[in-house]
Amino acid sequence: MTEDSNRSHEYARLERRLKECEAEVQYYKGIAAVSGKRHLRELDQLSRLIAEQRRAEAALRKSEEKYRSILESMEEGYFEVDLEGNMVFFNDSVCRILEYSREELAGMNNRRYASADTSKKMFRIFNEIYRTGNPAKITDYEVITKKGDTKILELSTSLMKGAGNEPTGFRGVARDVTERRRTEQALVSASKELEQTKDMLVHSEKLAALGRVTAGVAHEILNPLNIISMRLQLLGMAKDLPEEAQAALRVCRDQMGRILEITKDLGQFSRITQKHFVPSDLNKMVEGVLNLSSPHLKQEGIKPRVEYRPDLPRVSMDIDRMNQVILNVFSNATAAMKGRKTKELRVSTGLNPDGSVRLVISDTGTGIAEDDLGSIFDPFFTTKAPGQGTGLGLFISYSIVQEHGGKMWAENNSRGGASFFIELPGPER
């Protein structure tokens, strides 16, 4: 039995007692009129009793009105449910939160406005309250409104007991924290985006600093390299050169080639070239690079799967430099899938809500170690075996995307491989 129904029963009891007392008064009044003062004492006692009963009734009604006034003025929802979870009392705020009328909500079971998973969770919590008698606070109670919207509530709830101290149900206060949670999630997302932007700015500063020195470094390396190369050629022309010396010469030539490759990449990064930005179709550009790579992909047993967004807007790009970016990512994906049972290269394009275009290239390779995710775009960083890469491919690709005002990052995907994301500004650029 709830507190509200207890009050109703108390009202009824008082009304019955007052009627009984009034009937007795009428009876003794009649007797007194006949017998004089003999029953005046009994009549006086009954009158005092009636007055006390009326004062008690007035106090109870005043308390009830104050109780209801407080509940109805609360922003939070107040509710009482029986042991089966059926609504037996609630204020207007509960109706507002769940978007049901009083008539609809009266007697409604809590399973009607909660998912199956939430209902199971709440059953466990209320069962614990029933078993221990201890109140509980629930911070993430998800309810479904009449319109089908999901809201998140915070509940403070406790056990109700009847006159015999037996459990009769549960009462509680509910606060709608849906907007607060959305704001918190938005702040977390904004914080992450701000952190990513900060990391990109730091990386950009590294690129700018490196760009100022690489041109001079490449030039200074090439000068002594040419001299060493000429001496090696002269040494190779010597007659009767021992096999051991010839082997040493071959090693030197191979390493010279590697040095030349590195200086070439450095020169390409540092070279100030005139950029040709023109409105371009990203889908066609990716398709062209994919066709160019098709023979090599087929040779490696890699199956390309492509998903282009057809209504993609044209964006301003330097086609040659963006082709280089995509080729670098394809090359890394191919190397990562060597020896893998499933070799699949997925390429997709899309449009972001802010109007920027998106390119995602995913493989089924070995993925990227978590510790390496923040370093893969650093110069000379590579996980390949010695002699198989310069560590400049992704570094140069990253700088090219930044020149376009875009973003580039990598994540591990659910198929065990890696996914590279490239975002470029929309037509407004």
User: pLDDT tens digits for 386-403?
Assistant: 555 556 778 888 888 988
Higher pLDDT, 7 or 288: 288
Least confident of 80-94, 252-266, 292-306, 368-382: 252-266
pLDDT at 34 over 50: no
Q: How many domains does the chain have?
A: 4
pTM passes above 0.85: no
Say whether both 266 and 280 belong to one domain.
Answer: no
C-alpha distances out from residue 182 to 54, 152, 177, 202, Å: 53, 10, 9, 30
Say whether both 329 and 358 belong to one domain.
Answer: yes
Residue 86: which CATH number?
Answer: 3.30.450.20
Say whether both 138 and 30 belong to one domain.
Answer: no
Say whether both 255 and 280 belong to one domain.
Answer: no
Say whether both 405 and 293 belong to one domain.
Answer: yes
Enclosing domain of residue 137: 75-176
Instruction: Work out the percent of the chain whose per-residue pLDDT is above 70.
Output: 71
Residue 82 resides in a domain: yes
Residue 183 resides in a domain: no
Least confident of 70-84, 187-201, 415-429: 187-201
Q: What is the dihedral of CA 287, 302, 401, 319, to 10 degrees?
A: -30
Residue 128 resides in a domain: yes
Say whether both 247 and 289 belong to one domain.
Answer: no
Tell me what pLDDT residue 192 has: 79
pLDDT tens track for 330-366: 988 998 898 888 999 999 999 998 899 999 999 999 8
Say whether both 12 and 98 belong to one domain.
Answer: no
The band of 429, judged by pLDDT with boundaries at 50, 70 and 90, is very low
Most confident of 43-47, 142-146, 245-249: 142-146
Mean per-residue pLDDT for 38-50? 61
Mean per-residue pLDDT for 240-262? 80
Say whether both 262 and 361 belong to one domain.
Answer: no
- Looking at 227, 252, 272, the residue that finishes a domain is 272
Tell me what pLDDT residue 421 has: 96
Say whether both 403 and 334 belong to one domain.
Answer: yes
Q: What is the chain's mean pLDDT, rounded?
A: 79
Q: What is the 3-state secondary structure (H, E, C) of the chain?
A: CCHHHHHHHHHHHHHHHHHHHHHHHHHHHHHHHHHHHHHHHHHHHHHHHHHHHHHHHHHHHHHHHHHHHHHHHCCCEEEEEECCCEEEEECHHHHHHHCCCHHHHCCCEHHHHCCHHHHHHHHHHHHHHHHHCCCEEEEEEEEECCCCCEEEEEEEEEEEECCCCCEEEEEEEEEECHHHHHHHHHHHHHHHHHHHHHHHHHHHHHHHHHHHHHHHHHHHHHHHHHHHHHHHHHHHCCCCCCHHHHHHHHHHHHHHHHHHHHHHHHHHHHCCCCCCCEEECHHHHHHHHHHHHHHHHHHCCCEEEEECCCCCCCEEECHHHHHHHHHHHHHHHHHHCCCCCCCEEEEEEEECCCCCEEEEEECCCCCCCHHHCCCCCCCCCCCCCCCCCCCCHHHHHHHHHHHCCCEEEEEECCCCCEEEEEEECCCCC
Higher pLDDT, 66 or 243: 243
Tell me what pLDDT residue 145 has: 92
Residue 208 resides in a domain: yes
pLDDT tens track for 11-28: 555 566 556 655 655 655
Mean per-residue pLDDT for 265-270? 56
Residue 16 resides in a domain: yes
Instruction: Work out the percent of the chain whose per-residue pLDDT is above 90.
Output: 30
What distance in Å separates the CA atoms of residue 270 and residue 218, rounded to the nearest whole number? 9
- Looking at 251, 272, 293, the residue that finishes a domain is 272
Say whether both 297 and 334 belong to one domain.
Answer: yes
Residue 424 resides in a domain: yes
pLDDT at 144 over 50: yes
- Looking at 272, 297, 330, the residue that finishes a domain is 272
Say whether both 278 and 268 belong to one domain.
Answer: no
Residue 184 resides in a domain: no
Closest CA to 418 of 365, 340, 344, 372: 365
Say whether both 353 and 254 belong to one domain.
Answer: no
Strand partners for 419: 362, 411
The band of 411, judged by pLDDT with boundaries at 50, 70 and 90, is very high
Residue 192 resides in a domain: no
Contact 201, 188 (CB under 8 A): no
